[in-house]
Structure 1
Amino acid sequence: MPALLAPSCTLVGAGPGDPELLTLKAVKAIANATVLLVDDLVNDAVLAHASPTARIIHVGKRGGCQSTPQAFIDKLMITAFKEGERVVRLKGGDPFIFGRGGEEVEHLREAGIDVAVVNGITSGLAGMSSLGAPLTHREHAHGVVFVTGHAKPGDSGTDWVQLATTAHQAKLTLVIYMGVSSLNHICQGLLQGLPAHTPVAVVQHASLPSQREALTTLAGLVNTVHREQLQSPSIIVVGDVVQGARAWQQAEQQTKAQRVA
């Protein structure tokens, strides 16, 4: 008889949605798992890589909706590992970028479990790539800041005024996750540190066939999101790199042509 594989626990990033953006290492981990704990934002097509005998447990974690308690998810992983399972915690995007991966690793290590992590492409990167624009640029952006627009209960959250001031001075791109529900508050802060004409892109369902996007300025962001009815999950990218988007460049070319005419 073949030797039984040892129990294991792996946090796997399923990427932004498009199953073709999975890494080879993620596919291997999914295929070897005997138990998979799957987030809501993971594309069902990703589960085609799982073994037919694997147990799949859906543990929804989505802002604004009823979610599986984090403590319950932690307990499931620890229990399954101790029962000899090969556990994969399958998370949308990257486990360590607003995926609570850090919290889960801490709890697992406290239980004496060694954890492996397989990175995934985060939606902030995939969304901008789909528009043909970068997050950094030698002329327009010397760095990028990934920030959440969803504060932990009891936490005052991000100081948007300070962040905007720093971004303006240091030429940084801001990539805001989970910011749609707090958009008015976020914009009020950003407008105190960044010019009103700062380019902004909003991308909903990045990398999926259902992807929708809008290009605007910081001053017009709130009205644009409401008019286009963009909702979560969306990423908001603020900075001059947005001018590299294909649609933005096409609009500029049309404007120049009209001026010449």
Structure 2
Amino acid sequence: MHGKVYLVGAGPGDPELLTLRALYLLQNAEAVVYDRLVSPAIMECINPDATLHDVGKVASCKPSMQDDINHILLCLARTHQHVVRLKGGDPFIFGRGGEEQAYLHQYGVTVEVVPGITAATGCAASLGIPLTHRGLASSVRFITGHLRDNQGLELDWASLSDSSCTLVFYMAMANCSQIVESLIEHGRSPHTPIALAQDATLKSQRWALGTLQKLPQLVQTFSPPALLIIGQVVQLHPDYPEPIESSRAALTPEPSWVLM
């Protein structure tokens, strides 16, 4: 008889942004398998009697590491009733939670997914940057900037050229030059506003504002992981140096009544 595995999103780092379900499961877990992006403050929420399994991954980790994590989860499910797989952000957004769920299902293990606030929304909220905004951005795309097997980023760059779409790149620091060159080549203005943030929602949070063409210089003062937001909505940050000229109408709320 297998126990149950809970794929739990730890959110962007601030423990106050955990869901109530996530907090309950952490406080009652028998075993917790966690990544390096889980903040120390959230680790303090875990049941002190639970066994902890650090499977922290780095950008250069071997592909076989995910196979090892899958095997650890299966072994723990065979010896524990309540196993928590704790991931930074949301387990189904660049968290490989889908792979772990599929693997466990093959062996008859019940899996429950507990969503978390993904880094994109947590970071944007902490900076006061809406990812969509009437008149500025009608859509948003979450994109991985991580290379696989040392190959170039294989993205549909032409589809990312629409200035009405906000782009959020995860794990993009090492490949920022390719991102800048490819976006500009396919039509994005080099003056497109950008925001770069590290440790979003935490007291150690660092951020910088600039333009797309200046990104390679900005990243030199940051260390991974950092999140990159590209789009006109970045101008809504109160410290952005240039006012929005072409979108003042979009920033003026429509009255809910009309004086006749």
Q: Structure 1 length as normaliser, TM-score?
A: 0.87
Question: Which of the residues 163, 168, 176 maps onto 2:169?
Answer: 176
Deviation at 1:196, TM superposition (A): 1.2
Gaps of 5+ in 1: 1-5, 254-261
Question: Which of the residues 65, 71, 89 maps onto 1:69?
Answer: 65
Equivalent position of 1:259 in the other structure: none
Structure with more helix by fraction: 1
Q: For each residue in 1:190-233, what CA deviation from the matched residue of structure 2 results, as whole angstroms up to 9, or x when unmatched? A: 1122011110000011111111111001111112222xx11211
Deviation at 1:29, TM superposition (A): 1.1
The residue correspondences of 1:84-123 to structure 2 (distance < 5 A) are 84-123=80-119
CA distance in 1, matches of 2:155, 2:53: 37
Equivalent position of 2:216 in the other structure: 222
The residue correspondences of 1:165-204 to structure 2 (distance < 5 A) are 165=161, 167-168=162-163, 171-192=164-185, 193-204=187-198
In the alignment, is the contact (CA less than 8 A) between 1:204 and 1:233 conserved in 2?
yes
Question: Which of the residues 139, 144, 147 maps onto 1:143?
Answer: 139
Q: For each residue in 1:94-150, what CA deviation from the matched residue of structure 2 results, as whole angstroms up to 9, or x when unmatched? A: 101111111111111111112101111111111111111100112111111000011
Q: For each residue in 1:20-42, what CA deviation from the matched residue of structure 2 results, as whole angstroms up to 9, or x when unmatched? A: 11111100111121000011110
Percent identity reads 41
In the alignment, is the contact (CA less than 8 A) between 2:129 and 2:233 conserved in 1?
yes
In the alignment, is the contact (CA less than 8 A) between 2:31 and 2:80 conserved in 1?
no
Gaps of 5+ in 2: 244-260
CA distance in 1, matches of 2:106, 2:152: 28
CA distance in 1, matches of 2:86, 2:112: 12
In the alignment, is the contact (CA less than 8 A) between 1:149 and 1:158 conserved in 2?
no
Q: Structure 2 length as normaliser, TM-score?
A: 0.87
CA distance in 2, matches of 1:214, 1:154: 28
Deviation at 1:156, TM superposition (A): 4.9
Equivalent position of 2:237 in the other structure: 245
